[in-house]
């Protein structure tokens, strides 16, 4: 039976499995199964944590660019602020409470490597301490990110297109080089350690942190889905599609764009803070445009600009492909050494080729943005039924 009625709605299995998002999910599951059978569960957990961190950052980019139309070429700025906030503030607060050095000397490599193990040892004595440190770190990251989002929006939000994009790009590099040269913040060119609230779980640390970041990414997705379907989300799309019409309709374009930048920056900073807690250290020079601006843009373009579900699937698929290329590049492409080509560089070459192919044949991404009615279909159906009954009664 090719179709059947489910709750009064026709369900066509063929149509269901031919939907883009379902086909992408099937491909993702097949690739994960292959990796699990060949490399074990640890590689799956690594993919999950990469996916979760970049999903948070890319969804924040999608809010600002996909829904608001802001050319956000400085996504790395908010990520850096979140990372710096988690690397500089919570540890100093704990050090001050414990009577340890908490000033500029905290970031010195000769002091930091002694202080952080003491703070981590205190956190491992209580699940409550670890939980409060984790929640406090994430709150600090989000607040600092929101503050930077507002600060960035002041000189830049009234600019148009290329000027705005270049301004945001400059902000990203500015914060990276400030952190690189200001040794008292997070060590300058020398990485500093960060207290680890997950150390209390011992051998289960990696699994727990994957689960926590994965859950946070899912909660961010639910929040952005609700936000973008709200009247505020419709205002974002209206300004993105035609800001002149939006202004004529009474929308405060500067205010709405500012709110979008603040929310997006807070979410991106949350991703930066989670990344720092995952690796238990922060190095300012490690937060580059390539990693935290280019790759989120690639993920978003691959998944579908303006589509939160598309972004999630794009991040997941590209994370898997990146991992597979890194693992198997010498095994699958070792023959290229005969021609003087080192497979070491194939990660960027092959992923670039994938992005180009997707842009050529699917310019709107794997799962493009769908035009949705302002009212749910069920409500539209009830309205039409009432009108039909009213017409019949008038006769």
The pLDDT of residue 375 is 61
Q: How far is 342 from 336, CA to CA, in rounded Å?
A: 7
pLDDT tens digit sequence for 60-102? 999 999 999 888 888 999 999 999 999 999 999 999 999 998 8
**Span 282-300, mean pLDDT?**
89
**Higher pLDDT pick, 149 / 155:** 149
Domain residue spans of the chain: 44-394
Q: How many residues does the chain have?
A: 395
Q: Confidence band (pLDDT; 50, 70, 90) for 10?
A: low
Q: pLDDT (tens digit, 9 = 90+) per residue, 316-355? A: 999 999 899 888 888 888 888 888 888 877 878 888 888 8
Closest CA to 366 of 315, 325, 297, 290: 315
> Is pLDDT above 90 for 248?
no
Listed in sequence order, the residues at least 6 apart from 162 whose beta carbon sits closer than 8 Å to its beta carbon are 71
Residues 141 and 138: their CA atoms lie apart, in Å, by: 5
Label residue 366 by pLDDT band (50, 70, 90). confident
- Classified as helix, coil or strand, 5 is strand
Instruction: Using CB atoms within 10 Å of the CB of residue 353, give its burial: 0 to 12 exposed, 13 to 18 middle, 19+ buried.
Output: exposed
How far is residue 32's CA from residue 320's CA, in Å, rounded to a whole number? 8
d(CA 202, CA 206): 9
What DSSP element (H or E) covers 10?
strand 9-11
- Give residue 3's pLDDT band: very low, low, confident or very high (50, 70, 90): very low
């Amino acid at each position: 039976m090719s179709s059947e009625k489910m709750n009064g709605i026709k369900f066509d299995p063929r149509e269901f499995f031919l939907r883009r998002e379902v086909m992408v999910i099937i491909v993702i599951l097949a690739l994960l199964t292959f990796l699990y059978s060949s490399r074990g569960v640890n590689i799956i957990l690594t993919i999950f944590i990469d996916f979760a961190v970049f999903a948070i950052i890319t969804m924040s980019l999608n809010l600002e660019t996909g829904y608001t139309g802001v050319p956000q070429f400085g996504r790395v700025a908010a990520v850096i602020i979140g990372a710096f906030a988690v690397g500089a503030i919570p540890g100093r607060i704990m050090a001050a409470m414990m009577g340890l050095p908490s000033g500029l000397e905290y970031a010195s490599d000769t002091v930091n490597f002694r202080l952080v193990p003491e703070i981590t040892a205190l956190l491992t004595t209580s699940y409550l301490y670890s939980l409060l440190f984790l929640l406090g770190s994430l709150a600090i990251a989000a607040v600092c990110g929101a503050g930077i989002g507002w600060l960035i929006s002041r000189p830049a939000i009234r600019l148009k297109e290329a000027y705005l994009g270049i301004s945001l790009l400059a902000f990203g590099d500015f914060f990276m080089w400030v952190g690189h040269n200001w040794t008292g913040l997070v060590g300058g060119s020398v990485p500093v350690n960060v207290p680890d609230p997950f150390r209390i779980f011992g051998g289960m640390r990696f699994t727990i942190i994957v689960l926590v970041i994965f859950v946070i990414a899912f909660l961010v997705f639910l929040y952005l889905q609700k936000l973008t379907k709200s009247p505020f989300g419709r205002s974002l799309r209206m300004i993105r599609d035609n800001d002149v019409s939006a202004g004529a309709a009474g929308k405060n374009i500067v205010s709405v764009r500012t709110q979008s930048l603040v929310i997006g920056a807070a979410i991106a900073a949350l991703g930066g803070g989670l990344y720092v807690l995952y690796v238990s250290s922060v190095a300012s020079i490690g937060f580059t445009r390539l990693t935290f601006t280019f790759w989120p843009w690639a993920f978003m373009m691959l998944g579908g600009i303006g589509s939160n579900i598309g972004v999630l699937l794009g991040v997941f698929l590209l994370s898997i492909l990146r991992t597979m290329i890194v693992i198997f590049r010498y095994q699958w492409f070792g023959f290229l050494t005969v021609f003087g080509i080192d497979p070491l560089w194939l990660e960027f070459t092959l992923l670039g080729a994938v992005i180009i192919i997707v842009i050529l044949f699917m310019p709107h991404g794997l799962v493009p943005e769908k035009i949705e009615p302002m009212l749910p279909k069920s409500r539209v159906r009830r309205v039409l039924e009432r009108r039909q009954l009213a017409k019949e009664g008038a006769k």
